[in-house]
Structure 1
Amino acid sequence: MTSLRTAPADAGSTPRHTGMILAIVLVSYFMIVLDNSIIFTGLPQIRAELQLSPAGLAWAQNAYTLVFGGLLLLGARTGDLLGRRRVFSVGLVVFGVASLLVGTAPNGAWIIAARALQGIGAAIVAPTSLALLTSSFPAGPERTRATAAYGTTAGLGASLGLVVGGALASWVSWRAGFFINVPIALVMLLLALRYLPATRPASGRFDLVGAFASTLGMGAFVYGIIQGGERGWGDPLTIWPIVVGVLVIALFVVDQRRAAQPIMPLRLFASAERSGAAVARLLFAGTMIAFFFFTTQFFQEVYGWTPLQAGLGFLPMTVVQFAVSLLVPTLSRRIGGAPLIGAGLGLVLAGMIWISLISADVPFVVGVVGPLVLLGAGQGLTFGPLTSAGVAGALPEDAGAASGLVNTAHQLGSTLGVAVLTAVAAGASTPTQRVVDAYRGGAVMLAVAVVVVLVAVIPAQIRARRATAES
């Protein structure tokens, strides 16, 4: 990653260094993934300072992931049509400005709106960065290593965000975790303008109906789930948003079938490997983001830890995840990515079941460290191969859409995970029982993800390997 090597240029671009491209992509993606979790260790401070209700606190997180996920497909299409370097640079500007606004938030409405604006910037940067990566590295070992690094960044960004957020919340303020994005975004912008290849804009148009329908549909659906935890499942403010969300999502699918240039070509789902990877990623990401959301609160509310201690509590998971992820490229070449996904999800499921046995009387070393090690090992095995499976076999003209689908599954999973498990845990009588209920719900989601991998992803990769060997 640190060595610079010249790669063939795209039409209309100059020779470029793939090492620097990879560095820009990974750092920028790390920054936006970091903001999925950097807020978690500061949640108690944010709730007290801005006087947020439990639902408002959930929306401080969901506003980011919802808009991020809802606009990802449009962001991917925008990069294809207007040029990826140009769009990537605009996304960095939007994300940097929004981070500044989050850091200066005086009330709940402000922080939710600013987090939504952050989501817009992230929705531009994420799919464009993955599309730049796949177009800069030829298919084969180089691209496998690059996508493995990209996938690993997703996991490490989420877990390290807890450490960074905890340290800053304890030593400075929860706001500092967002202020640091401003100089990072500025530096990445300058490097992007210098090193990223300029691509010629493609002919075509935006599917604005599809973008609007996907965002509105998921927004209404998630809003209904959050209200279910607050008001009960029979309340009209729970039922009607869910109904509207389902109907609008159905309209989105119809629009994508009929649109001349859809933002999410339905042919992407013709591959069992890509479809299975998308579903597994949605469930996996949803479980893990919700795990961070609830565990940081458990550490602070039950164990009485400071935000810094809560962030450092995740270090066993982070260290193991990083170490295991270094082995993934070699293991992928030897046994394939799908077995790693299955084994990784199995380890995460075992860790989630184990930690669901936690109670207020069980010390951290006895009840938490072991599950965190399993969770870290499982994430290290899963993220990279799951990313590769999500774009496997996509046609060149679908590179942006496939990249958008991978990130959409991740971000919408993150949104739904927090929303669903918040609702699952809403009836708990104690903080500890609330966390345990969420863990049990997450274990069910992970079990479904394991089944999807066993039924769809692994058989598809076996068929693909056989076809390659016979050709």
Structure 2
Amino acid sequence: MATGSVQTPARTDHRWAGLGVIALAQLMVALDATIVNVALPTAQRTLGFDDAHRSYIVTAYTLSFAGLLLLGGKTSDRIGRRRALTFGLIGFAASSALAGAAPTFEVLVAGRALQGASAAFMAPAALALIASTFTEPRERGKAFGVFGAVASSGAVVGLLLGGVLTEYAGWRWCLYVNVIVALIVIVAGRRVLSADDGFPVRVDVISGLLGTAGLAGLVLGASEAAAHGWESAAVLVPGLVGLGMIAGFLVRQRALAAPLLPLAVLADRGRATAYVATAISVVGTFGMFLMLTYHFQVALGWSPVRTGLAFLPMSLAVAGSSYGLASRLMDRVAPRALVAPGLLLAAAGLGLLTQLTPTSGYLTVILPAEVLVGLGIGCVFTPSIGVATSGVDPRQAGIAAAIANTAMQIGSSVGTAVLNTVAVSATRDFEGAPIAALVHGFATATGGAAVALVVGAALVVAFLRPAAPVDSARTTSQKLA
């Protein structure tokens, strides 16, 4: 050995272990949007709420998640991604304990809303950690493939886990389980995730509250239509107030030097279309989860575990499509060559469910529909998220990730509320046996979701292109405090 040479130990590469921790945190966020779905019929009997308001248990989570994601993304940029992830995990554990112990419908809704608020700080931090950790194109594609598989299959995993917990431990454990998982992620994250100090960006709380309240008004109006009709004051007043607040939010973003939502991020047509495609894709899937959950347990009389298992093929299809196909092709083909066919494939699956009847067989109708939807959605999420978060200044990575997650949650919130309203209205207007009317409502709602996905595919063909880099010089004044 040469004199004076010094042997230094190789630095341990924790990036892939860190990806595993990030994926577990994202899995919590994704599956909690649906883990209570399978438990809903049991929780409904326990707490005594009606069909018109069952969607609130889902939308309370997705709505607060969507409304606060931009604020969470900006906070992630300000205080550092690992710290924001940890704070979000602590809040998620506490709110899960509250919702699990809920004695009334109102407390359960409040706990679910606080879960969503906590997730709003976790999700953008997780996605920004991936974007900043994996910069080499090949590794970045693999990392986003893992993330896409988790994000898109987590909802179905939630249905499966919810079924097992509801049947063998009680529906409240669908919420209590988060306390255990959150503690594991916090401890593991401190070992394998790199800490960062963040950037000196302003956090505009007023804009966050305006955006959240605006979305809440829209979803509340859509939800109340099931009980009061679309032309009632209970629908129009919150809907119009919501639109007004969203308009105020956008005006405020244009006026601020450091906006919560830098509009330059949305100025690129390809990036904006990627956000829209992500939102539309979950309109159908989340509405389908709610409809099929009640079809399995109420119309067919299946147990919660059997209901959860019935969704497993869709989870496998999503994971295989996202990681096995989309992640490998996203650097070789144009994004729209994956996203548009994916939306059409999922629409075909939803179209099959329009033929649903009380006597429809699982193997002949529902299983093929699940596989088609899973294969299609897996081809949407991975390339869409890749386009949505590419070409963005590192100081805006958190906010770009937050917009991608916001798009998912807006789609699930509005989609679940509207499709539940369509289903309840169609059931009420159907002349026939109660079970036949219930299934007719489900079939009608999935038909509407299929149309939404076809429209989304047309938009993707017309407008989705790889995102161009944001002009840093033009937006510097918007990023710094």
Q: TM-score, normalised by structure 1?
A: 0.92
In structure 2, what residue type is equivalent to 1:172?
A
What RMSD in Å do the two structures reach over aligned CA positions?
Answer: 1.6
1:205 equivalent in alignment to 2:202: yes
The alignment partner of 2:276 has SS state of helix
Aligned counterpart, 2:221: 224
Q: Distance in 2 between matches of 1:302 and 1:132?
A: 44
Q: Distance in 1 between matches of 2:449 and 2:220?
A: 19
1:335 equivalent in alignment to 2:333: yes
Q: Distance in 2 between matches of 1:258 and 1:55?
A: 40
1:311 equivalent in alignment to 2:308: yes
Asked if structure 2 preserves the Cα contact closer than 8 Å seen for 1:16 and 1:197, the reply is: no
Aligned counterpart, 1:258: 255
Q: TM-score, normalised by structure 2?
A: 0.90
Deviations 1:154-185 (A, max 9, x none): 11100111111111111221111221111110
Displacement, 1:290?
A: 0.9
Displacement, 1:463?
A: 9.4
The alignment partner of 1:64 has SS state of helix
Displacement, 1:331?
A: 2.1
Asked if structure 2 preserves the Cα contact closer than 8 Å seen for 1:316 and 1:373, the reply is: yes
Displacement, 1:15?
A: 7.5
Q: Distance in 2 between matches of 1:281 and 1:370?
A: 23
Displacement, 1:201?
A: 3.3
- Equivalent runs, 1:59-458 vs 2, <5 Å: 59-325=56-322, 326-429=324-427, 430-457=437-464
Q: Distance in 1 between matches of 2:234 and 2:375?
A: 41
Displacement, 1:49?
A: 0.3
The alignment partner of 1:174 has SS state of coil
Displacement, 1:80?
A: 0.9
Identical counterparts, % of pairs: 34
In structure 2, what residue type is equivalent to 1:295?
L
Aligned counterpart, 2:36: 39
Q: Distance in 1 between matches of 2:319 and 2:301?
A: 28
Q: Distance in 2 between matches of 1:390 and 1:201?
A: 21
Asked if structure 2 preserves the Cα contact closer than 8 Å seen for 1:341 and 1:386, the reply is: yes
Q: Distance in 1 between matches of 2:233 and 2:467?
A: 48
In structure 2, what residue type is equivalent to 1:382?
V
The alignment partner of 1:334 has SS state of coil
In structure 1, what residue type is equivalent to 2:44?
R
In structure 2, what residue type is equivalent to 1:57?
R
In structure 1, what residue type is equivalent to 2:328?
T
Asked if structure 2 preserves the Cα contact closer than 8 Å seen for 1:39 and 1:165, the reply is: yes
Q: Distance in 2 between matches of 1:334 and 1:202?
A: 34
Equivalent residue pairs, number: 449
Aligned counterpart, 1:54: 51
Q: Distance in 1 between matches of 2:12 and 2:261?
A: 31
Q: Distance in 2 between matches of 1:321 and 1:84?
A: 28
Asked if structure 2 preserves the Cα contact closer than 8 Å seen for 1:314 and 1:372, the reply is: yes
Q: Distance in 2 between matches of 1:208 and 1:365?
A: 50
Displacement, 1:76?
A: 0.5
Asked if structure 2 preserves the Cα contact closer than 8 Å seen for 1:276 and 1:456, the reply is: yes
Q: Distance in 2 between matches of 1:321 and 1:64?
A: 23
Q: Distance in 2 between matches of 1:435 and 1:109?
A: 26
The alignment partner of 2:340 has SS state of helix
The alignment partner of 1:79 has SS state of helix
Displacement, 1:462?
A: 10
Displacement, 1:54?
A: 2.3
Q: Distance in 2 between matches of 1:264 and 1:15?
A: 37
Larger radius of gyration: 2
Aligned counterpart, 1:461: 466
Q: Distance in 2 between matches of 1:230 and 1:92?
A: 36
Asked if structure 2 preserves the Cα contact closer than 8 Å seen for 1:16 and 1:196, the reply is: no
The alignment partner of 1:167 has SS state of helix
Q: Distance in 1 between matches of 2:82 and 2:332?
A: 35
Q: Distance in 1 between matches of 2:111 and 2:141?
A: 35
Displacement, 1:139?
A: 4.4
Deviations 1:370-406 (A, max 9, x none): 1111112112222211211211222222211100100
Cα separation, partners in 2 of 1:21 and 1:227, compared to 1, 3 Å: same
Deviations 1:203-248 (A, max 9, x none): 2321122101100100011111111121112211111111111111
The alignment partner of 2:424 has SS state of coil
